[in-house]
């Protein structure tokens, strides 16, 4: 090995576009945000429609802060683990067509997104 040559790194990162099927049919989604100085996390119903990242929260959750992080993930075993998180501002929106009652709907406009799939780990 050549001196001063960096060692190869293992990565599980993939482009978020490669997990579009997961975003179209999410088994679970969670929203994290800061509330009263502490991190809070709530399960949400996620809907990807026309490139918009919409999510519904129970009405009892109350108003959300201006920014949040949304996590969509899947996989029961290590090499099945895959997911996407996105961070950005949230704004109230009308429910998507066919939406379940009892939810307040929001749109997250991603400023940053990260995706991973442990089954696709590779050297970079």
Mean pLDDT, each 10-residue run in order, the chain (124 residues):
75 87 95 92 93 93 91 89 96 92 95 91 70
> What pLDDT is recorded for position 13?
86
Give exposure, 45-77, as e/b (b: 16+ Cβ within 10 Å). Answer: bbbbeeeebbbbbeeebeebeeebbbbbbbeee
pTM confidence score: 0.85
Alpha-carbon span 25 to 20, nearest angstrom: 9
Domain boundaries of the chain, sorted by first residue = 10-123
Q: Does domain 10-123 have CATH number 2.30.110.10?
A: yes
What is the phi/psi pair of residue 54, to 5°?
Answer: -105, 145
With tokens 């040559």, the residue in question is 5
Alpha-carbon span 99 to 12, nearest angstrom: 34
> What pLDDT is recorded for position 80?
87
């Amino acid at each position: 090995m050549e001196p001063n040559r960096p060692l190869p790194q293992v990565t599980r990162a993939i482009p978020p576009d490669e997990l579009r099927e997961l975003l179209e049919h999410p088994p679970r989604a969670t929203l994290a945000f800061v509330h009263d100085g502490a991190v809070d996390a709530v399960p949400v119903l996620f809907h990807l429609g026309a490139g918009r990242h919409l999510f519904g929260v129970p009405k009892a959750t109350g108003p959300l802060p201006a920014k949040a992080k949304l996590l969509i993930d899947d996989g029961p075993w290590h090499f099945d683990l895959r997911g996407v998180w996105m961070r950005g501002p949230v704004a109230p929106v009308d429910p998507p067509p066919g939406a379940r009652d009892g939810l307040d709907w929001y749109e997250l406009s991603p400023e940053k997104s990260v995706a991973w799939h442990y089954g696709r780990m590779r050297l970079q």
